[in-house]
Structure 1
Amino acid sequence: MNEVISSPLFGILISLLAFELGMFLYKKFKNPIFNPLLISITFIVGLLLIFHIDFQSYDQGGQLIAFFLGPATVILAVPLYKQLDLLKANALPIIVGILVGSIVGIISIVLISYFIGLDANIIKSLSPKSVTVPIGVEVSKQLGGISPITVVSIIITGILGAIMGPTICKTVKIKDKLSIGVSLGTASHAVGTTKALELGEVEGAMSSLSIGIAGLFTVFLAPLIVKILNSILHFY
């Protein structure tokens, strides 16, 4: 049994089964709360805890899956290419929207974290929560944050964005496909983009574009905004 668990195939198999379970539940109930990623995480964590399986054993297969995240992300350029004319016609509002969204995302999490009394290192770790993991971790390190906390915050942000984003857009009566895509990609990175792709090709294209641009803005803006807010609030 130990040989099976220590094999990379174990982590791969468990991950695939967990995601398939999540997809099955999502398609069956059609409820955003049954987000496949959320179901997968819950299932895997529960399995590891119940059977006392060491995370390092599972992660041998998990790392192989993570290796393919890069190529999978590149595929998001396909719907963007198909909507290239739309992008050219709306370049300025798209860029401004992503810029404003990135700034608001950083400022809001820093202020909320400060006013509820979180430690300075936690605040630094949470500031890049709305970008993809590789970018967020590097920004967190640059600020002196804690990388594992950054990773968790990015995952939670993505899941919440995918679950709540479309509902919020409907509630405030945002119907423009371009706006919905930009908001999902800027606020909840790749996980939000998977939801945007479900909504339509335009939403998916704009969301995938927003991931990269929001990440670029965050690299430059997060250290500057955190520094400015710290000069005012003195949280470290």
Structure 2
Amino acid sequence: MNPAHWLNNPMFGVGGTLLVYLAALACRRRWRWMHPLVSASAVLIVLLTTGHIPLAFYQSGGDWLSLCLGPVTVALAVPLYKNARRIKEALLPVLAGITAGSLISVAFTALLLSLTGSPEELIRSMLSKSVSAPIAMEIARRAGGIPELSASFSVLTGLVGSVTGPAVLRLCGIRGDIPLGTAMGTSAHGIGTARMIAESQSLGGISGFSMAAAGIITSVLMIPLYWII
């Protein structure tokens, strides 16, 4: 049978992704410095590139996995519910930190790209890089940016934050669950929250709340910027 028939089957994208990710998790258990999302993504890119496999073939199954993101995101409510009391007790400082982080992210991105002479369309696409991809895409669409480019920046930001964020924060002396979870959820959205859940339910719950709040706050902060940019 023609190999293209198998490659164009949705099970190729689903099965291939799951197998590679399981292998990445096994490597993570042996080499703690390896991040499973980064290594799995790198392996998939290499396989598609060297095997000359069209992206559309892989995406026919990859779209199934994307469809699962909604229920998975809702599942983040479980650790959030379990830590609702702790979040409520520190609600004002947490919201202040999320607001400050969201504001600094948007302002610093706009300033840095403006000073380097970046195209306006790139600036509009990158302003929402620190929120989850669906929110970032909608913000970019309404701001006149490129939604697909904004989603790429969002995923990249989450990956970088997930890989380096905890080490950098702890190096700066930030060790409590609430500040760590707040910082990771605000800056690295869902990918950072997944990293926090892997460490503890407490960190995951606080990070999940921060991710959701940062999405709302960033969307509100962007309203006046629609007229400025």
TM-score range, shorter chain: over 0.9
Q: Distance in 2 between matches of 1:35 and 1:113?
A: 29
Offset of residue 212 of structure 1: 1.0
Letter in 1 for 2:168: I
Q: Deviations over 1:79-102 (max 9, x none)?
A: 111111111111111111111111
- Are the equivalent residues in 2 in contact too, given 1:110–1:226 (CA < 8 A)? no
Which residue of structure 2 aligns with residue 82 of structure 1? 82
Offset of residue 218 of structure 1: 1.4
Offset of residue 226 of structure 1: 6.2
Q: Deviations over 1:155-193 (max 9, x none)?
A: 110011011111111111011110100100000000000
Letter in 2 for 1:86: R
Residue 52 (structure 2) pairs with residue 52 (structure 1): yes
Which residue of structure 2 aligns with residue 6 of structure 1? 8
Q: What is the SS of the residue equivalent to 1:195?
A: helix
Gaps of at least 5 residues in structure 1 are: 231-236
Which residue of structure 2 aligns with residue 191 of structure 1? 191
Which residue of structure 2 aligns with residue 162 of structure 1? 162
- Are the equivalent residues in 2 in contact too, given 1:26–1:35 (CA < 8 A)? yes
Residue 33 (structure 2) pairs with residue 28 (structure 1): no
TM-score normalised over the length of structure 2: 0.95
Residue 129 (structure 2) pairs with residue 135 (structure 1): no
Q: Deviations over 1:93-115 (max 9, x none)?
A: 11111111111111111112222
RMSD: 1.3
Q: Distance in 2 between matches of 1:205 and 1:136?
A: 22
Q: Distance in 2 between matches of 1:52 and 1:187?
A: 35
Give the share of equivalent positions with the same residue, in percent: 29
Equivalenced residues, count: 227
TM-score normalised over the length of structure 1: 0.92
- Are the equivalent residues in 2 in contact too, given 1:7–1:57 (CA < 8 A)? yes
Residue 96 (structure 2) pairs with residue 96 (structure 1): yes
* Change over 3 Å in CA distance of 1:22–1:114 after alignment to 2: farther
Offset of residue 227 of structure 1: 4.5
Q: Distance in 2 between matches of 1:117 and 1:25?
A: 42
Offset of residue 117 of structure 1: 2.2
Gaps of at least 5 residues in structure 2 are: none
Runs of 4+ in 1 over 6 A off after TM superposition: none
Q: Distance in 2 between matches of 1:41 and 1:226?
A: 34
Which residue of structure 2 aligns with residue 146 of structure 1? 146
